[in-house]
Amino acid sequence: CILLNKIFRLIFLFLIFPFVHAQVTELSNLFGQIESPNFPVPYDDNLDLTWRITAPTGYQVLLYFSHFDIEDSYDADLGGSCVYDYVQINEEKYCGKNSPSTSTNYIRSTDNLMTVKFVSDYSNEEPRPLGFRAHYVVDDIDECAEMEYAARYTTEDWDEVIYCNHHCINVPGSYYCTCRPGFILHANQHTCTVAACQDQVLTESSGIVTSPDYPNPYSKLTDCDWLIEVQDGLSLNVSFDRNFNIEDHFNYSYCPYDNLKLSYGSHQSTHCGNDVPFNGRWTALNTRILRMNFHTDYAIEKSGFKMTYDSIRIRCLNRPILEHGVVNFPNSNPFSEFEDEVSFQCNTGYELNGENVITCQSDGSWSSQPPTCTIISCGRPTKLEAVPNSRIMEWERHFSTHEIATLECNEWYELVSGSTIWTCNEAKQWVVLLTGFEDNVLPQCKPICGRKNGDSFISAHVSNGVVSEQYEWPWMTFINFGYRPNVVGVQSCGGALIGEKHVLTAAHCVTDRAFQPDGKRYPNNTHVWLGVHDREQDYLNSSTSARSFQVERVIRHPNYNKRTLDSDVALLQLTEPVAMNNVRRPICLPDTDADFQRLQVSARGEFAGWGKSHFLKMPSYLLREGSSHVVSAATCMQAFREQSKKKKITLSDSISITQNMFCAGSRFGTDSSTCNGDSGGPFMLKDEATKLYYVNGLVSFGLSSSLCGKLESYSVFAKLTPDIVDWIKQEISD
């Protein structure tokens, strides 16, 4: 039943209210009263009345009710209380019998306008309400009190509240702000800022700097600058009062609101809160200039700061020290001041480098860098350091007078001349220490020659001989001819490394009729390989030790005869020196009479190469080795004549065994023999005393490649006679 009653009343309201006419009354008197129609008789139904009370600018409207009787109502579905009849003031609705104000408790407008609205619905129950009577009066607004209240009690966006921070004067209809002496009113007409605090220059030797009106709260929106500059040669000494209080921020340490900035020398610092600069102690800044900036925003004011300063003589903070010497200071002070002079003296055996007296200058720096004491020395032994293939031992020494520098040859090198022990004399020169050596002649380190890797017994021969141990013969050289280096090239010869930049081979290897006018091959068509063992693997795998070297010069012996192959000796000069190691080292050249006499009939020599194999009928990829005995020239020539008859080979009239040749081989094929591709390879004899190998000959020619390794197989070698060896040494030295 109650629900049906509500629905009926709502429908009736919508039907009746379109016929209610709103009425607005404008009031502008300084006082007056308003009341419901017919008051104190019950008011009519379907009323919608509005009173607009307007006061002059700077004033407000006060309103109180002497009588109040409006139908009370509450309906949650329609918005709560006062849904039928009500009085509405400043968006607030009132109904019932309780007056919203009294003669001592006014309703106040927020500005100079107050709107009062009265609404009644279509009916009222008995006893019918009488309505209301209200009184209004225009009153001056106390803007000062309102701003003070807002500044004190506003919690949200409090830093945006504008108020008079010094004095507020309330006048009828308005107000104005004034400032304390020494301050001026900011452009916002509310905030008092200090009158003149920018670009202040202080040149006295002592004084006091404070925030504006210290210790009273400093002003807002302030930017004060001080430049304190004392005379040349003096330094500022400062102290901050411990009553230091500048607005800070609880979340940020970089002082984003109010702050004091100090700048002196290379130092800069920013302070706020209770962070007293220099902990409130007297501090020597050691500079004659101090810049200060005090900045405040619009919000909180604190007591600020006070700084006292005076001047002392500027100090040179970096006290000089002298290693291996003595520093003489002018007094016993633990510091040096402006115009102080300091002298230096080195200990015995050392010499002074730099000024022996320096002065503390007016800017706190020394007139020059302190000197140093260096041990009297010959300096680095640069000439000894430049000796190739060597190093200086005891390098951590200072190489002072009477100290020693010892030179040592690198691994795979040996000393061949000169002294390795040198000393620094009193004339600051490096000289040979031991007697018996020529003065100022530098030592020489040359590659160790003839040292074989391993020492296995050789029983087979190159043609069908056994494979050499890897890198067993570190001087063995593979030479290919063509437009590019090719370790598997078929047009090839052998050779032997005899020095850092020279390879020994047969002259006929570097001779070809295609090369005019004398048939000597061009260097760029001649390619030297060292560190080769298995040519096929060296070709396929770039990480092996095999390496090619460019040839700079091809040098044939001047007496080489292309027809008879006499003096069949040649040198290949490389464009760069070979770095000696375990797989690349030279063989020895014969030098003494014993070295040359070792080559005689029945002497057993060894050789190696990648020449043609009798069984495989093709050059070997693997380095093979063999040995053979030296035979007489007559034996060799007799064997050539017999074999040529048996094999029906025409023996050339030019074939002869000259004084610059020798022959090796076997009548019954028990020795090894050389074959095609072995040409130029070394015939090696071993010194049993030193175990070193010497190259006494080079593979030159044989009767026929079809006889390699067979019965009565002999090979002819170019002999390294004393004259030929002298020629080789001369070419190498040139």
Tell me whether the CATH fold assigned to 316-375 matches the one assigned to 382-447.
yes
Kindly tell me if the per-residue pLDDT of 453 is higher than 50. yes
Pair 132, 35: CB distance under 8 Å: yes
User: Which secondary structure element, helix H or strand E, spans residue 644, and what is its range?
Assistant: helix 633-646
Distance between CA atoms of residues 495 and 596, nearest Å: 20
Mean pLDDT of the chain: 86
Ramachandran area for residue 547 (φ above 0: left; ψ -120 to 50: alpha; else beta): beta
144-192: CATH architecture? Ribbon (2.10)
Residue 277 DSSP one-character state: G
Averaged pLDDT, 241-268: 90
- Supply the CATH classification number for the domain 466-733: 2.40.10.120
Q: Strands 23-27, 48-54: parallel, antiparallel or unpaired by DSSP?
A: parallel
Question: Which residues, 6 or more positions from 535, have their beta carbon under 8 angstroms from its beta carbon?
Answer: 478, 487, 488, 610, 621, 622
What is the mean pLDDT of the segment spanning 470-474? 94
Tokens of 189: 């007409």
Stretch among 37-51, 116-130, 716-730 having the lowest mean pLDDT = 116-130
Q: What is the DSSP letter of 125?
A: P
Query: DSSP for 606-625?
Result: EEEE--B-TTTSSB-SB-EE
* Residue 3 reports pLDDT greater than 50: no
The pLDDT of 613-632, averaged and rounded, is 82
Handedness of CA 348, 353, 359, 364 (dihedral sign): negative
Q: How far is CA 138 from the centre of its chain?
A: 78
Q: Considering the domain 23-140 in this protein, what is its CATH number?
A: 2.60.120.290
CATH topology of domain 316-375: Complement Module; domain 1 (2.10.70)
Q: Does 617 score more than 70 pLDDT? A: no
| C-alpha 227, offset from chain centre | 40
**Beta strands 86-89; 92-94: pairing state:** antiparallel
pLDDT in tens, 534-565: 998 988 888 889 999 999 999 999 999 999 99
pLDDT more than 70, % of the chain: 90
The amino acid present at 408, given as its one-letter code, is E
Which pLDDT value is given to residue 13?
46
Question: With respect to CATH, is domain 382-447 assigned 2.60.450.10?
Answer: no
Closest CA to 189 of 172, 164, 209: 164
Contact predicate 445/413, CB 8 Å: yes
Residue 263: strand pairing partners: 268, 291
**pLDDT band at 1, cuts 50/70/90?**
very low
- pTM here is 0.53
- pLDDT of 405 over the 90 cut: no
Q: Kindly indicate the confidence band of residue 56, based on its pLDDT and cuts at 50, 70 and 90.
A: very high
pLDDT at 347 over 50: yes
Helix (H) or strand (E) holding 26: strand 23-27
Q: Which residues are annotated as a binding site for Ca(2+)?
A: 71, 85, 121, 123, 140, 143, 170, 247, 258, 297
Predicted local distance difference test score (pLDDT) of residue 74: 87
What ranges do the domains of the chain cover? 23-140, 144-192, 196-313, 316-375, 382-447, 466-733
CATH architecture of 196-313: Sandwich (2.60)
Grouping H, G, I as helix, E, B as strand and the rest as coil, residue 236 is strand
Catalytic sites, residue numbers? 508, 568, 679
Binding site: what residues are annotated? 71, 85, 121, 123, 140, 143, 170, 247, 258, 297
